[in-house]
A and B are shown apart, each in its own frame.
Chain A
């Protein structure tokens, strides 16, 4: 579903991501972890087609993101850490707008259950200015899910959510994965990754340190100890520093 080969991103002389290759299949949830400045957000943005990769190829649902971006983007959804909404569109109008952009016929029938699932149906006629941070996040998610994406990218999905919101977000991600979506999420919250992700990719200074299922990566860094959690694995893998 997601195939990344030799991905690199440079800003002038600075290399944010170097020679990254991995695949994420249907039903898999890949957690991107790494210290600050490891290249997680740059990687996610390259995968979602927001910024052009300097080198390498990204294929989404079999479509090359560089040569056929429109077909590739039809199947994906990107959820930024900070919800980006239009100030003058109500909740329902956001969904109406997104439906037209993605060509979703009969979107009303899809939008209502989505709003109810995310518990913002009673805010359908409110502008973003009247919504709490968590509700804005839910609206951004509803917009992303409306066209039924098969590939999803989440950048720090739990930022600003209350405990109940965190629980629901985790359930929602797992539900989409069970339904066959390929998901990549980046977060500093390692317990989230432990609960949600089937695979993990540890980055440091733009390069891959470790990748595989959580059990595989744990086995590599556990040094024979039992029940080593992801936090300990992360610290051992990254050497306990950003540099």
Chain B
């Protein structure tokens, strides 16, 4: 059985590599491969090979970069905090698995493996071992990837080999745990334990453990104390560490700490010492899974079908979150038969998103942000923590503007497979492109407005030393104008940002199709995505430059004339809005024409 598995995996791997090498004859894959390989080398492999990671860590420690600590070894309390946070993350994931899991017992076989192996003359135990061994191969690949990603983590082990082995242990235990959860929950369900009773039981147990731990803690450690002498983040981290080190919560997370031990080991000796408890955790998981095996065939078939449907959905452009079992729900708003046809696309595409993306949730979020800000401001102990959070919304706004269009794809990219039907509609191309883009524009604008509100609530000018212009800039009146101007400019800015990937889909459809592949990715696909991302950033810089100049010019002229800064900001925002809308209109007309000329039969081929 294991030889069959090895044959399957090695042959598949050989063919996969061969196919990837052969397709490098096409320029789009070759260019992607060059960029992808350069990215991996300069950001991960190169620094790791030259010992850059270790040097950075040493430099960070010498400079007290993580937190001040003398001595050459990794700071003990830093490792302790990281270990505690890691254990907390594992605990959360495990609790979620026990609470959310609704599938019956299943193992992650593919549809082809089910077709060949289930009717084959092999025992159920052999199938389980086949799957467990196969999961190890996948865990190994995942571990290698995560080793590269974690090469810059100052608190992780300096040795790439130790980090890789550490990741492999974590992923293996995680896979085993998920299989064990599914088997056990199926047994419990068959014994009459309903989903909600099980959820209540698990969450009740967790609440009891947390309550007992909190009661066990000395009174002075029951809440983080922001006394102004230490960083807010450090106070929170140390409080969490103390909480996770106290029984009974400490007992619950101990297996997770044992499992994480090898990953944080500073050297070979520490690794070997930590390996014993970690292997014990693995062994217990293995015995648990093997002994709790129940009928998994139906669950595995259902899971494989769902997985295949998801892959097909991604390949056909319907998104990774396509749910074949989804139920219909009411439209997001009333859509009469007459009116602007573009709104029909907003209505349609809003239905393709999560049901909780609606005005009620948005308004609730705004109320929570305002209420939390008001509450924190009225509690001096939390004010410092609030100030520490002030920059976060602004960072997140930048992230949403840059990366948001990659996630909010309810536009022409999602509907490209339906383009032949869209093209029969009696609408101009720009109307279809605009209509298709309205949903992601609405979603991302809503998120950014919430973040602007959070920034306004958390920002405290008294917490920073400001030069005279800064003092005027952050005066209450000017701040309100700035906030309003930012809110006003958000929709056209987001729409312009979304034009770029939509243009990529229509102008370079074959490239765009290639980047959508799932399971068939590689360095070349990574490189293609990077090329798209770079092009998007560059385009954005070019289209934003005139708007930025308008704002700067207006502020300069108003200041020169001795006017208030707020007036300059308003005038600048008005000019910027005009420019952005003009650029947006030009972009829509271009893409509309492109859509009208789009020849599906010759262009929409992967």
- What's the minimum C-beta distance from A50 to chain B, rounded to whole angstroms? 5
Do the beta carbons of B599 and A51 come within 8 Å of each other?
A: yes
- What's the minimum C-beta distance from B352 to chain A, rounded to whole angstroms? 4
Q: Digit string of A58-82 for contact with B (CB within 8 Å is 1, else 0)?
A: 0000000000011111101110100
- What's the minimum C-beta distance from A239 to chain B, rounded to whole angstroms? 26
User: Which of the residues A11, A42, A70, A90 comes within 8 Å of B427, measured between beta carbons?
Assistant: A70
Q: Digit string of B123-145 for contact with A (CB within 8 Å is 1, else 0)?
A: 00000000000000000000000
Residues of A within 8 A of B601 (CB): 11, 42, 45, 51
Do the beta carbons of B337 and A105 come within 8 Å of each other?
A: yes
Query: B347 at the A/B interface (Cβ < 8 Å)?
Result: yes
User: Which of the residues B324, B331, B338 comes within 8 Å of A93, measured between beta carbons?
Assistant: B331
Query: B597 at the A/B interface (Cβ < 8 Å)?
Result: yes
Do the beta carbons of B331 and A96 come within 8 Å of each other?
A: yes
- What's the minimum C-beta distance from B425 to chain A, rounded to whole angstroms? 5
Do the beta carbons of A97 and B348 come within 8 Å of each other?
A: yes
Query: B392 at the A/B interface (Cβ < 8 Å)?
Result: no
Do the beta carbons of B337 and A100 come within 8 Å of each other?
A: yes
Query: B152 at the A/B interface (Cβ < 8 Å)?
Result: no
Residues of A within 8 A of B352 (CB): 86-88
Residues of B within 8 A of A49 (CB): 423-424
Residues of A within 8 A of B221 (CB): none
Complex CA distance for A42 and B424, rounded to whole angstroms: 14
Residues of A within 8 A of B425 (CB): 73, 101-102
Do the beta carbons of B424 and A48 come within 8 Å of each other?
A: yes
Residues of A within 8 A of B325 (CB): 129
Do the beta carbons of B337 and A77 come within 8 Å of each other?
A: no
User: Which of the residues A50, A74, A87, A125 comes within 8 Å of B426, measured between beta carbons?
Assistant: A74
Do the beta carbons of A73 and B424 come within 8 Å of each other?
A: yes
Query: Please, how many residues of chain B have a CB less than 8 angstroms from a CB on the other chain?
Result: 37
Complex CA distance for A242 and B577, rounded to whole angstroms: 59
Query: A133 at the A/B interface (Cβ < 8 Å)?
Result: no
Do the beta carbons of A102 and B426 come within 8 Å of each other?
A: yes
Complex CA distance for A88 and B602, rounded to whole angstroms: 28
Do the beta carbons of A80 and B421 come within 8 Å of each other?
A: yes
Query: B199 at the A/B interface (Cβ < 8 Å)?
Result: no
Complex CA distance for A84 and B420, rounded to whole angstroms: 9
Nearest B-chain residue to A92, judged by Cβ:
B328
Complex CA distance for A106 and B347, rounded to whole angstroms: 18
- What's the minimum C-beta distance from B348 to chain A, rounded to whole angstroms? 5
Do the beta carbons of B597 and A100 come within 8 Å of each other?
A: no
Query: A107 at the A/B interface (Cβ < 8 Å)?
Result: yes
Nearest A-chain residue to B435, judged by Cβ:
A101
Residues of A within 8 A of B194 (CB): none
- What's the minimum C-beta distance from B372 to chain A, rounded to whole angstroms? 33
Find residues 100-116 in chain A having any chain B CB closer than 8 Å to their own CB.
Answer: 100-107
Q: What would 29 A/B residue contacts be, using CB atoms closer than 8 Å?
A: A11-B601, A12-B602, A45-B601, A48-B424, A49-B423, A50-B424, A50-B600, A51-B600, A52-B596, A69-B596, A73-B424, A73-B426, A80-B420, A80-B421, A84-B420, A86-B348, A93-B328, A93-B331, A96-B335, A100-B335, A100-B336, A100-B343, A102-B425, A102-B426, A105-B336, A126-B328, A129-B324, A129-B325, A129-B326
